[in-house]
Amino acid sequence: MPYRPGRHFLQIPGPTNVPERVLRAMARPTIDHRGPEFQALGRELLDGIRDIFRTERPVVIYPASGSGAWEAALVNALSPGDRVLMVETGHFAILWKQIAVKLGLEVDLIPGDWRHGVEPRAVETRLVEDREHAIKAVCVVHNETSTGVTSRIPLVRDAIDHARHPALFMVDTISSLASIDYRHDEWSVDVTVAASQKGLMLPPGLSFNAVSQKALAAHAHATLPRAFWDWRAVLAANETGFFPYTPATNLLYGLREALAMLGEEGLPNVFARHARHAEATRRAVRAWGLEILCKNPDEYSGSITAVMTPPGHDADRLRAVVLDRFDLSLGVGLAKLAGTVFRIGHLGDLNDLSLLGTLAGVEMGLAVVGIPHEPRGVDAAMRYLEEVAD
Ligand SMILES: *Cc1c(COP(=O)(O)O)cnc(C)c1O
């Protein structure tokens, strides 16, 4: 590959651009993970990470991608043959379901069209029908990264409460944590699943389970086999700032820096920045005359926008051209959306001009591959960003 001058535009919805500060923080010697210097780091992180989840409860950190934290949530709180209620919001919801099935859980799936989020009334109906309380957990994806649809978690919580159902509530926030408002304690979530490589601006390799008191109580008598993922072993070691096995020390250096950066900006400002960039992106898409996959404006995602190409126009050809010509990576259409959707990631370490560069790359790409559009998207985004201050 020849050298490509300038910076690569990594505008997929994760992994996201890793800021220089985080890269530099990680470029240090790996230390003894049983020594006092590590202990101080461990204590600082295990305390600090809770603010991001908005919880007073412990957060378990794994050296694993997000899929590991999906599995951890299930094996720690459930038993073989337990019934779980899941909702087909898109590709990631289906992947989590497949893990549940492989683990021997019985999955009740509420079908979906991949253009809407979780319908709270549908959840309530299923739970009301479950008079025996056979359903042990409701598992949903907060921000469905394959479709750009954000489910309204407080309404799902209300649905569970209205049904007076004791099921645990598990939420995947892998592409929403630290970019879209999320509150583990206030929304009474029992297990929140997250990962490092999206809103937290880190490379892949860390993932998380925030765990409620109720989830810990379920853990005490849950019998799915668990070893590496066992919360109890991790939480016991965490008491003194350590981990039961070798942690991803250099990623933890990066996490310390990312937490500092999020603290300096302030989480409410981080969420507002993402919402503003998401709106600018949607204005560009509408000005191009293209369709946003998400149908319900109340469920528009603050971190990713999925855009439909007109029938007969291959989204993957557009992606290939913008990568080749403009060094811009866009998200692929996943599973049944292959070829008909491309995804613009606007989360993580992003400012107005990086967003406009991204949108300019898309607009030029549409012209190069001959997808019918109005060449006014960048302009529409610029007008919005000018008028609506940070
Ligand atoms: C990225 C993502 C995952 C998968 O995480 P991995 O780190 O690839 O294992 C799961 N769920 C959602 C919502 C995601 O965005």
pLDDT of residue 1: 81
Would the pTM of this model clear 0.95, i.e. be above it?
yes
Give the pLDDT confidence of 351-367 residue by residue, as tens digits: 999 999 999 999 999 99
Compute the distance from residue 220 Cα to the ligand 1 centre, in Å: 27
Residues pairing with 331 in the sheet: 343
For atom 6 of ligand 1, the residue with the nearest CA is 66
> With a 6 A CB cut-off, is 79 part of the ligand 1 pocket?
no
- The mean pLDDT of 382-389, rounded to a whole number, is 96
Q: Output the average pLDDT for the chain.
A: 98
Checking if the pLDDT of 390 tops 90, the result is no
- The mean pLDDT of 218-242, rounded to a whole number, is 98
Q: Please choose from 175, 196, 229, 346 the residue to mutate so as to test ligand 1's pocket, defined by most ligand atoms within 8 A of CB.
A: 175
What is the set of domains in the chain, with CATH numbers?
9-16+266-387 (3.90.1150.10), 20-263 (3.40.640.10)
Q: Please choose from 71, 89, 92, 143 the residue to mutate so as to test ligand 1's pocket, defined by most ligand atoms within 8 A of CB.
A: 92
> With a 6 A CB cut-off, is 334 part of the ligand 1 pocket?
no
Compute the distance from residue 95 Cα to the ligand 1 centre, in Å: 9
- The mean pLDDT of 110-137, rounded to a whole number, is 98
pLDDT of residue 317: 98
Give the pLDDT confidence of 274-323 residue by residue, as tens digits: 999 999 999 999 999 999 999 999 999 999 999 999 999 999 999 999 99
> With a 6 A CB cut-off, is 39 part of the ligand 1 pocket?
no
Compute the distance from residue 65 Cα to the ligand 1 centre, in Å: 8
Checking if the pLDDT of 2 tops 90, the result is no
Give the pLDDT confidence of 195-211 residue by residue, as tens digits: 999 999 999 999 999 99
344 pLDDT band, cuts 50/70/90, is very high
- The mean pLDDT of 214-226, rounded to a whole number, is 98
Give the pLDDT confidence of 76-112 residue by residue, as tens digits: 999 999 999 999 999 999 999 999 999 999 999 999 9
